[in-house]
Amino acid sequence: LCAGGAPSLSYQELKDLKKINVLHIDVRERWEVDRFGRIPASVNIPLGELVEALQMDPTEFKEQYNQKMPSKSDPVVFSCLAGTRSKQAVGFATSLGFS
């Protein structure tokens, strides 16, 4: 799900990860989700909102995205349409201390 040398997953690997409670963040724009469909069991946080979202108070994150905020050590997977934005998302998360 991530291009350009960053870690990537196959569809089956993602399905397997979701069985162990990984947070899947779709960083596409809302209009893309509306037009092309939502990825089941994912939360949509457009890339432009991601840095702010990952720094939110956990209660505010839960209210806004209807998901528990990940801790810095929780497994998180980012996806987008072609891999470019998900690669950026990995960089943003890493710079904020997520492992």
CATH of the domain at 85: 3.40.250.10
Please check whether residue 15 lies inside any domain of the structure: no
Helix, strand or coil for residue 34? helix
Please check whether residue 12 lies inside any domain of the structure: no
| 46 in Cβ contact with 69 (< 8 Å) | no
> What is the reported pLDDT for 62?
96
pLDDT tier, 2 (very low <50, low <70, confident <90, very high otherwise) = very low
Note the pTM of the prediction, 2 decimals: 0.84
> What is the reported pLDDT for 7?
62
Pairing label, strands 43-44, 76-79: unpaired
Inform me whether the pLDDT recorded for 63 exceeds 60.
yes
Domain, as residue range, for 39: 22-96
Catalytic residues: 80
pLDDT digits (tens, 9 = 90+) for 10-59: 777 777 766 777 889 999 999 999 999 998 889 999 999 999 999 999 99
| 61 in Cβ contact with 69 (< 8 Å) | yes
> What is the reported pLDDT for 4?
41
Please check whether residue 17 lies inside any domain of the structure: no
Inform me whether the pLDDT recorded for 89 exceeds 70.
yes
